[in-house]
């Protein structure tokens, strides 16, 4: 099978600092790929390049046989990629369900004129969108939290809502930036279960950034390791774990490789 996503020799510089240096990677359909690396390694920058937030200084990104690194931000979602953010970026003063409805934006048709006239088709569309949203919220474990403002949700719930919102885009590739960050072990276990369900039940392809080796080892089929913007290792979890360069990179930071940050 051809890769779903292929990152080809991507470099991204910020005046003087090279956040990504000639990084290449490929992601197969229906797999979970992990990106790990110490703080400041360039993981989030990679996501930002994939989702159009940053243009690569050089190199290309291909998705489903199509070059996407020149697309406008909103074009990425239309192309079939959606994401969550490391520092949760929900629409804080909108309700949970409204957040998910925004996620469905590209699949809905109402425009300002039909919104004013409100023909039956609009009412119908709105009703089915709400139904979809409720289902997604239930899938993400947010039953009966529909009408809560996003900012009033608990931290773990907010992370789940971000995933529900990203799923509403109906992406074929989902990018998760540290989905378990800041969670207690119980919450994290729930999140891992959710991520597995995404692949197994929804047949989703996922790339996830993680600090916690335990999470990565548990769910990822392949792992890419970044350090100082360079790809220093790649392979199956147990291969990467043995890699001397990886161990050194993590040793240097004082982080414990098997237990995530702090």
Partner 1 sequence: MMQRFEATRALTRALDNANARARAAFDAIPLIRWILPLALGVVGALSPQWFDTRPTYALMVLITYLLLRTSTNVFGLAVLAAMLVYLPMEMDRFERGILFDIALYTMLGIGLNIVVGYAGLLDLGYVAFFASGAYIFALVVAPEAGGGWDIGASFWLMIPAAMALAAALGVALGLPVLRLRGDYLAIVTLGFGEIIRLMLNNRDDITNGPRGVYLIPKAHFFDKELTGPYELYFLVLAGVFIAAFAAERIRDSRVGRAWEAIREDEDAASAMGVNTTFYKLLAFAIGAAIGGGGGVIYAAKQTAIFPRDFDLDVSINVLALVIIGGMGNVRGVVLGAMLLIGLPEVLRDFSIEFAFIDLANIGADYRLVIFGAALVAIMVLRPEGLLPSRRRAAEFEQAEMLESELAT
Partner 2 sequence: MEQWIQLFIDGTTIGGVYAVIALGYTMVYGVLRMINFAHGELFMMGAFAGFYTLDAYQQHSGLNDSLPVFTIASAIVAGMITAVVLAVVMERIAYRPLRHAPRLAPLISAIGVSIFLRNVMLRVTNAEAQVYPRVFPRGAIEWGDVSVSYIRIFLLVLSVFFLVLLWLFIERTKMGMSIRAVAEDRDTAALMGVNVDRTIVMTFVVGAALAGAAGAVYGMFVTTATAGMGFIPGIKAFTAAVLGGIGSVPGAMAGGYFLGITESLSTKFIGAQYKDVVAFVLLVLVLIFRPWGIFGKREDKRA
Per-residue DSSP letter, 27? E
Least distance (Å) between residue 39 CB and partner 2: 15
β-pairing, 205-209 vs 173-177, is: parallel
Residue closer to partner 1 by CB (options 95, 224) is 95
**Residue 53 contacts partner 1 per CB under 8 A:** yes
Residue closer to partner 1 by CB (options 9, 93) is 93
Sign of CA dihedral 200, 207, 84, 184: positive
For the chain, the 3-state helix, strand and coil shares in percent, each to the nearest 5, are 40, 25, 35
**Residue 86 contacts Mg ion per CB under 5 A:** yes
Contact positions with partner 1 (CB under 8 A) in 157-216: 165-166, 168-169
Return the bridge partners of 223, or none.
Answer: 34, 235
The one of partner 2, ligand ATP, Mg ion, none whose footprint includes residue 51, by CB under 5 to 8 A per kind, is partner 2
Among 31, 86, 110, 241, binds ligand ATP (CB under 6 A): 86
Among 44, 82, 132, 233, binds ligand ATP (CB under 6 A): 44
Stretch that binds partner 1, among 58-66, 71-79, 194-202, 214-222 (CB under 8 A): 71-79
Least distance (Å) between residue 7 CB and partner 2: 17
Residue pair 153/161 in contact (Cβ under 8 Å)? The answer is yes
**Residue 102 contacts partner 1 per CB under 8 A:** yes
The one of ligand ATP, partner 2, partner 1, none whose footprint includes residue 63, by CB under 5 to 8 A per kind, is none
**Residue 51 contacts partner 1 per CB under 8 A:** yes
Question: Site residues (CB under 8 A) for partner 2?
Answer: 14, 44, 47-48, 51, 53-54, 85, 89
Among 13, 22, 28, 40, binds ligand ATP (CB under 6 A): 40
Q: Which residue has the tokens 């890769």?
A: 3
Secondary structure of residue 229 in the 3-state scheme: coil
β-pairing, 58-63 vs 5-14, is: antiparallel
Residue closer to partner 2 by CB (options 90, 217) is 90
Least distance (Å) between residue 154 CB and partner 1: 16
Per-residue DSSP letter, 198? H
Residue closer to ligand ATP by CB (options 43, 145) is 43
Secondary structure of residue 209 in the 3-state scheme: strand
Closest of 12, 5, 152, 166 to residue 85, by C-alpha: 166
Closest of 102, 96, 64 to residue 81, by C-alpha: 64
Could you tell me the two tokens for 167? 């799923």
The one of ligand ATP, partner 2, partner 1, none whose footprint includes residue 94, by CB under 5 to 8 A per kind, is partner 1
Residue pair 181/86 in contact (Cβ under 8 Å)? The answer is yes
Contact positions with ligand ATP (CB under 6 A) in 45-64: 45
């Amino acid at each position: 099978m051809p890769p779903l996503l292929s990152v080809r020799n991507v470099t991204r510089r910020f005046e003087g600092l090279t956040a990504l240096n000639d990084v290449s990677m490929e992601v197969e359909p229906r797999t979970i790929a992990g990106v790990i690396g110490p703080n400041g390694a360039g993981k989030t920058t990679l996501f930002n390049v994939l989702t159009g937030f940053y243009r690569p200084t050089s190199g290309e990104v291909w998705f489903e046989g199509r070059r996407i690194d020149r697309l406008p931000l909103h074009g990425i979602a239309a192309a079939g990629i959606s994401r969550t953010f490391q520092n949760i970026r929900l629409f804080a003063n909108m309700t949970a369900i409204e957040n998910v409805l925004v996620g469905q934006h590209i699949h809905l048709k109402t425009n300002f004129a039909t919104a004013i006239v409100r023909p039956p088709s609009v009412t119908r569309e709105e009703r089915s969108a709400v139904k979809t949203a409720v289902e997604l919220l239930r899938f993400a474990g947010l039953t009966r939290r529909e009408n809560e403002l996003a900012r009033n949700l608990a931290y773990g719930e907010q992370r789940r809502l971000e995933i529900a919102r990203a799923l509403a885009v109906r992406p074929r590739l989902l990018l998760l930036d540290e989905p378990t960050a800041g969670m207690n072990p119980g919450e994290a276990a729930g999140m891992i279960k959710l991520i597995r369900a995404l692949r197994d039940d929804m047949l989703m392809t996922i790339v996830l950034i993680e600090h916690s080796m335990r999470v990565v080892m548990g769910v990822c089929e392949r792992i890419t390791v970044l350090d100082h913007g360079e790809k220093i290792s790649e392979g199956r979890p147990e291969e990467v774990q043995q890699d001397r360069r990886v161990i050194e990179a993590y040793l240097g930071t004082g982080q414990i490789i098997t237990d995530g940050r702090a």
